[in-house]
A and B are shown apart, each in its own frame.
Chain A
Amino acid sequence: MKKQNTQKKYVPELSQKEIDELSNSIKTSSQKIVAETIKRMKESDKNRPKTMKYFDEMADLFGKREKEIIEAKKSGKKIIGYLCLFAPIELILAADAIPVRINSGWYDATKIGDRVVPVEVCPVIRSTIGAKMVSLSPFLENSDAIISVLTCDAMTKLGEILTDYTPIWQMTIPRIKDSDQALRLWIEEIKSIKKEIEKLTGNKITRKKLRRAIELTQKATKAFRRLQQLRKGNPVIMGRDAMLAIQTYIWDDVERWTKNTNKLCDELEKRVKNKDWSVPPDTPRVLITGTPMFWPDNWKVPSLVEEANPKGVILADEICSSERILNDPVGVDEWSMNDMLNAIGERYLMASTCACFSSTDGNEDRINWLITKIKDHKIDGVIYYVVRGCMLYAMEYTRVKKVLDQLNIPVYYLDTEYTREDVGQMKTRVEAFLEMLTARIDF
């Protein structure tokens, strides 16, 4: 690791007082919003699964999990943050460190981030910078190192800006994934990250440990797929609940998360037996695709869809803060170190449907994913969600729309910002779309 320069290259110096003030005000308002969102989730859905209680608890970012992480850190465990899903969390788990994803969802933090980068930049990045500047996120704050994968342009520079605070390990991801040399490069990157992790934690990643870690995440994927299987039939769980449950994986303890997700599935399976649906089965079934949505603040779209009138229900999504986290397992052929690393490399690079990849067949993988999900979950309409500044997803819209038109699936382009001001206007747009879907179903 290079010696950190004490002089900050990007970020303006803030006084401690200012940091505390800003952080406290955002924290207070955010906690209020989280409480309110969860309250609304409970109230608007009388039939909410009881096992969601665990995920509600986990959703409080300044609650139980923060304490656990601080305690783990005191006991000598290392916390390794990551910005994109491409970070190999199996390696982090195998080195007895705790992986947490640190992308920020706080709306107010974007305004602080605006002091460093212009407003045209993707709000996820601005918010993450802002959160770091005022020491807001407990996970970002406690990270001993951050894995930054150079996916989209904004993410590439975000890693650089964060070097002002924390050691950053950058990983180059090839933009073309479908070639031999790309995979070779990526596996080399995985190997070098493995060395970095070993150096930081002081724990050697042995074959046995890595195998255990892989099996741990495989079990999590299994639980996730079980949940997804339940969302294929009539809706037994509201989409935002499922999305929240899935999203807690990125900061929760993997084993505990798996256990609780299985509990949730047990409860839902009982409901399927009793034909106890959370919404009437003829509710329009919606799929969300596009830019990631991060808890706590940026949860307006799921809430809007499922609290609108007429109501929609989210049955599937293709966003990297929800289903894509766990969709693909690491498939190991022989349990040798070499093959495990290859398997991890391939799982992160090749299975991904991120828009940052380019291919001559037009990101066919993402299209195939969408078509499969639409067929499996019997989707009636797709909401293409893009935050302003996310160019890659915005540019792929026409491609996706053409394919969905052929399938006769209506798609709605919903662009927004990290702000609460447009909620009313978005509500009108979403309701119009859902009304159209309802009309199509009735017809």
Chain B
Amino acid sequence: MSMETLGNLLQIAVFGGLILAGALVILIWVKDKTKNISTLRLFVQIAFVPLIFLGLLIGPFGLPQNPNLGDAPRERLLGADLLGNQFPDGLSVPILACWYPNGRTVTCSVWQLQAYLFPFWDAGPGFGWGTFYSSNGLERIGITLGLMIAMSLLIGRAFCGWICPFGLYNDLMIRIRKIFKKPHLSFSEKTNKAIGQLRYLIIAAFLILSVILGSQAIVGTQLVGDTAPGEYYYSYFTAPFCQVCPMKPLCILVEVGAGAMNPLEEINHSTGVFYEAGYYVTSLNIIVLGLVTAGALAFRRFWCRICPLGGLTALFSTFYPFKKLALLRLNKIEEKCTKCGICKRVCPTQVTEVYEEKGGDVTVSGCMLCFRCVEMCPYEDCLEVKMARKTVLKSRNWLEPSESE
């Protein structure tokens, strides 16, 4: 075990080194200061995709619920053994990195919250093939929430802006739209705020739904067959949000791309029931993905305004009392601002507070800390990014590189 762990750590170290080197190269070579941070961000986003799905690349590949093809490499996962608990579902991270593809390194927290919520008293067999929980659901939820809060306090919604693979997908849609030179649409300020609040309703509704469906599966009055614990559809019904989440179909693509899944088998496996279009992708997943893709082509970062996971991260980093503790903040100095409105226009999620607030801490729940505003602000030192009260990034006069012509 130790040799393999060492090997994995070495792989991660090499990969991290490559990322750092790439970041350095970008910082040196991208001369246009209005594209500096954006390019770096794109690079980080892409670099994180293999890192997130690292579990697909190491060890023997296995298909879930298919013992003939070998076991999933659970023991290789980062969170396999956390705080003395067997924690085989991967580290809980506030990004849409789906639990469903086999061999994930990290897992979307929303899945864990739903799956562990009911039955919370139970230890026992896990959701994936050959997994076992040594602790009960409450403990597991505690770990999930604890990790989530810690990570939100650490870099807050920068997870959305810099790491989340679905954020990358939304950004790619922006790039595709740019190729066709089409302007983007914008929500009215009011609508955008309403959408931002809708996130919390969505997460609450799905958690409640998870309890209801979970209890039905366990207590016995099943709506659909095969939903008791350990049975075929159990993992669908305990995590209802995941059955509409637009990320799941994309995870299949990654899985197929990594060679960890045979797509033909998936198609053969399809039973044609409304909630099951493929191996573990429901038709709702695909419909929502279609809608979100269309939305992302019209609006910038369409999904990220409504994402319940982003909402949770924001909850733990931009609201009292977490607001006081969160480390990564966006700060504005009032006097330097001429209210030119650039920050408001370039914001991909249409956050208006950076423009409207007089000054001070302007990190709000809609902001995913992509720092596009910091990059585009033409006034020196007006906007600054603070990490633990230390300024790490400042708006620069992007016109300034004083090359004499």
Contact = CB atoms under 8 A, between A and B. Distances in A.
Interface stretch (A90-98, A167-175, A217-225, A412-420): A217-225
Interface string B391-403: 0000001011010
Nearest to B336: A372
Given A207-B181, A368-B334, A375-B335, A329 B341 contact: no
A350 B397 contact: no
A350 B339 contact: yes
Interface string B334-349: 1111111110011000
Given A338-B183, A375-B335, A329 B399 contact: yes
A80 to B, nearest CB: 24
Interface in B195-241: none
Contacts of A346: 340-342, 345
B160 interface: no
B335 A371 contact: yes
A206 B402 CA distance: 30
Nearest to B182: A336
Given A333-B376, A334-B178, A353 B399 contact: no
A424 to B, nearest CB: 38
The residue among A178, A259, A368 with the most chain B CB atoms within 10 A of its own CB is A368
Interface of B: 34, 178, 181-184, 189, 334-342, 345-346, 372, 376, 378, 397, 399-400, 402, 404-405
| Interface of chain B, main secondary structure | loop
Contact of A259 (B338, B345, B405): B405
A226 B337 CA distance: 19
Contacts of A207: 181
A266 B189 CA distance: 46
Given A331-B376, A337-B181, A372-B335, 17 more contacts: A183-B341, A207-B181, A219-B399, A219-B405, A222-B400, A226-B400, A226-B402, A258-B405, A265-B404, A337-B183, A346-B340, A347-B340, A350-B339, A368-B334, A368-B335, A368-B336, A368-B338
A343 B343 CA distance: 11
B327 to A, nearest CB: 28
B339 A262 contact: no
A325 to B, nearest CB: 14
B405 A262 contact: yes
9 contacts: A219-B405, A259-B405, A327-B338, A328-B340, A331-B376, A331-B378, A343-B342, A350-B340, A351-B340
A339 interface: yes
Contact of A351 (B341, B345, B405): B341
A225 B399 contact: yes
A258 B404 CA distance: 11
Nearest to A359: B339
Contacts of A178: 339
Contacts of A369: 338
A435 interface: no
Q: 5 tightest CB-CB pairs across the interface, nearest first?
A: A338-B183, A351-B340, A222-B399, A331-B342, A350-B341
B378 A368 contact: no
Contacts of B399: 218-219, 221-222, 225, 329
Interface in A338-379: 338-339, 342-343, 346-347, 350-351, 353, 365, 368-369, 371-372, 375
A405 interface: no
Nearest to B402: A226
Contacts of A43: none
Contacts of B340: 328, 331, 346-347, 350-351
B180 to A, nearest CB: 9
Contacts of B34: 331
A162 B182 CA distance: 40
B36 to A, nearest CB: 14
Query: Chain A: interface residue count, which band?
Result: 35 or more
A115 B340 CA distance: 40
A371 B34 CA distance: 27
Given A329-B399, A336-B182, A368-B338, A262 B404 contact: yes
Interface string A162-192: 0000000000000000101001000000000
Contacts of A329: 378, 399
B346 A331 contact: yes
A334 B184 contact: yes
A435 B252 CA distance: 78
Nearest to B342: A331
Nearest to A353: B338
Contact of A333 (B182, B339, B346, B405): B346
A225 B345 contact: no
Nearest to B337: A368
Contacts of B181: 207, 336-337
Nearest to B177: A334
Nearest to A221: B399
Contact of B338 (A222, A265, A365): A365
A375 B336 CA distance: 10
Interface in A300-355: 327-329, 331, 333-334, 336-339, 342-343, 346-347, 350-351, 353
Nearest to A361: B358
Contact of A180 (B178, B189, B337): B189
Contacts of B405: 219, 258-259, 262
A337 B376 CA distance: 18
A351 B338 contact: yes
A265 B337 CA distance: 26
Given A372-B335, A372-B336, A375-B335, A339 B342 contact: no
Nearest to A224: B399
Contacts of A347: 340
A342 B341 CA distance: 10
Interface in A198-233: 207, 218-219, 221-222, 225-226, 229
A336 B400 contact: no
Contacts of B378: 328-329, 331
Contacts of A265: 402, 404
B345 A343 contact: yes
B105 to A, nearest CB: 34
The residue among B178, B372, B378 with the most chain A CB atoms within 10 A of its own CB is B378
A333 B376 CA distance: 8
